[in-house]
Amino acid sequence: MSFLLAVILVVAVLVLIGFVMGYNRIRSADVRVAEALSGIDVELTRRASLIPSLVHTVQTFAAHEKAVLDHVTDARAALTSATGGNSVAERSAAEQRLDAALAPLWALGQSYPQLNSSTNFLDLQRNLADTEDKLAFARQYYNDAAATLNRQLSTIPWMFVAPLTGVTEKEYYQTPR
């Protein structure tokens, strides 16, 4: 009888240890996803902070291109507000909108040779390209973290602990096209 009690006690302790390990593993993966999303926000904020300087630089050379500049400014405002929210899809859509608004602005560089030769404009282009590279890395890191978490939530034995953690599957960050 005491042997059976010892076996039951050992099994109960192993189940408890497994639960604690699973809980901690899932919560840690959730924290990594939140950190990765924060990394995207940092780069989106950096990108958005470069836009006013870019608009000002273009405005000095192409003041009559107000519609293009206003479109970029509106897209920047949408991106800034999206970085504070919880929706990954909203961030991606705002980023896509900014990309679409920036395309005509870059074309102005070709239309205005003095703008394209401005060191300020070229520095801003370089900074934005650098930020885009960092943003691509941050997106990939987020998607890897989300994939790890989603896999843990749907595989044995962690799927039995998952409902108790309050953690749900995360959506992937769609790259703007």
What domains does the chain contain, in order, with CATH numbers? 26-165 (1.20.1440.20)
- Record the pTM: 0.83
Q: What is the pLDDT of residues 118-164, one digit of tens each?
A: 888 889 889 999 999 999 999 999 999 999 999 999 998 888 888 88
Give the residue among 97, 74, 94, 70 at the shortest CA–CA distance from 82.
94
Q: What is the pLDDT of residues 18-66, one digit of tens each?
A: 889 999 999 999 999 999 999 999 999 999 999 998 888 888 877 777 8
